[in-house]
Structures are given as C-alpha cells and as structure tokens.
Amino acid sequence: MNDIIIKLGECVEFGKISLASPYPPAMKGQPGADELTREALESGLSPQSVLNDALIPAMNRVGNKFTEGKIFVPQMLLSAKAMNSAMKHLKPYFQNGEIKRKGVFVIGTVMGDLHDIGKNLTGMMVEGSGWEVIDLGTDVPAEKYIQALDEHPGAVCGMSALLTTTMSNMQPMIASIRAKYPDTKVVVGGAPLNADFAQSIGADAYARDPQDNINWLELIVACNSASCAYRNIRRKNQ
C-alpha cells in the first residue's frame, strides 16, 4: 500500500490533524491528515482510494477501540477532527460525483433536547465511513426530518436524546415520518435509551455508540446490494 495512505490512516487513527497540531506528542512536527491528504491527491492517488484505503479503515479502527474501551471521547473527537481536515480536500470530488457515497444519513437531536456532543461525534464518524451526513442540529421536530427526506429520498434517519423527558418525543416523531415515508429506516441513540425502548417506539435499531451506528448502516448497504444482486439474477432468468 502507498506510504502516504498508510501515514494518512495513522494520522486519522491517532488524531494528528495538521503539521501545527501538537497531539499526539509522538507525531509532533510531522505532517497531519490535512497535509497528507493534499499530498496524496497531488501525487495522483484517486480521491476514492484516499477515502476507501485510508480514511474509512482508520475511522473503523477508532470506532472499534472506543467500543472496546481502549480510547475515550476526547481521543475520538481528535480522530474525527483529523478526518474532517482530510475530508475538506475531498468535498469537491463528492460534489462532482467522482467519489460515490454509500447513502445519506440524516441526524438530529430530538425536539426539546439541546445536547449535541454525541450527535456531533456520530455524524463525524458516519461521514468518515463514507456516508453523506445531513445534520439537522438540536431541538429538531419531525417536520425537519420530513423536509430532509423530501430533499434526499431514501435517506436513513438517526435520532439522539440525552434526557428521559425528551426520549418520549421519539415515538410520535417516527410515526410522523413514517406517515409520509413508511419505508424510512430509523436508528436511535443516547444515554437513557436501550434496544427494548427502540423496539417499543418503532425504531429499526438502537446504537449504543457511533461504531454501533456505523455497523448497522453497513448492514443496510449490504442488504441493499444483496437485493440488487437478487433482482439482477431474476431479470437474467426471466
């Protein structure tokens, strides 16, 4: 594998944002994700390769470390910021279609709730895994989700709540979304939630952390691909 790709993945994994950033100490004075992404593109590496071979594997490693308790939120945030510094160089290639997204993920903190750290972290991690993320912010009513689905048909929705008083808003919001878009997939997360609650309100999944969310989204991609393959086989046999 190209040395730049390896170094870029390490920068994202360990949170080395740029040449000027002092963290981690062992990488002080070295180029970070910002400079290495620019160098990779200028050297002729494809934007898709930068995403698939460096950024996505690095963010997967970060997510797995967090799930296993080997790193914590501050380290995850630094890795997400390093990833974002790389992604800004890839934005034009997403816009012109040279890099293909896995799908669109619409995320927000539910109506009545202003907490956003978990939502922001999840959004950054999901974007780093190859999805287009539409962040609706905090205190989001169902109408904003529906508007986003109007603009991005087939998008997957994510809802976050950190309070027991606001998690109760999820069920009517999901019902409102499904009244117009019955096939919409919805994942919920937040400290007071659990899988039983998610099932009881009609959500498709509960994510206990950002990597759990990403793993579920990957299942959707795999299922969609399998469905497409099945449809193609049927066409050939008809």
Is the Cβ–Cβ distance between 70 and 22 less than 8 Å? no
Taking only the tens place, the pLDDT of each residue in 142-186 is 999 999 999 999 999 999 999 999 999 999 999 999 999 999 999
Q: What letter represents residue 153's amino acid?
A: P
How high is the pLDDT of residue 95?
A: 81
How high is the pLDDT of residue 238?
A: 39
Average pLDDT for 103-110: 97
Please classify residue 46 by burial: count the beta carbons closer than 10 Å to its beta carbon, then call 0-12 exposed, 13-18 middle and 19+ buried.
Answer: middle
Taking only the tens place, the pLDDT of each residue in 10-69 is 999 999 999 999 999 999 999 999 999 999 999 999 999 999 999 999 999 999 999 899
Q: What are phi and psi of 70, to 5 degrees?
A: -90, -25
Interatomic CA distance for residues 225 and 100, integer angstroms: 14
How high is the pLDDT of residue 232?
A: 42
Interatomic CA distance for residues 166 and 148, integer angstroms: 21
How high is the pLDDT of residue 97?
A: 84
Average pLDDT over the chain reads 91
**Which residues 6+ apart lie within 8 Å of 112 measured at CB?**
139, 163, 165, 166, 169
Number of Cβ atoms within 10 Å of the Cβ of 191:
13
Going by pLDDT thresholds of 50, 70 and 90, the confidence category of residue 200 is very high
Going by pLDDT thresholds of 50, 70 and 90, the confidence category of residue 226 is low
How high is the pLDDT of residue 227?
A: 53
Taking only the tens place, the pLDDT of each residue in 77-91 is 999 999 999 999 998
How high is the pLDDT of residue 215?
A: 93
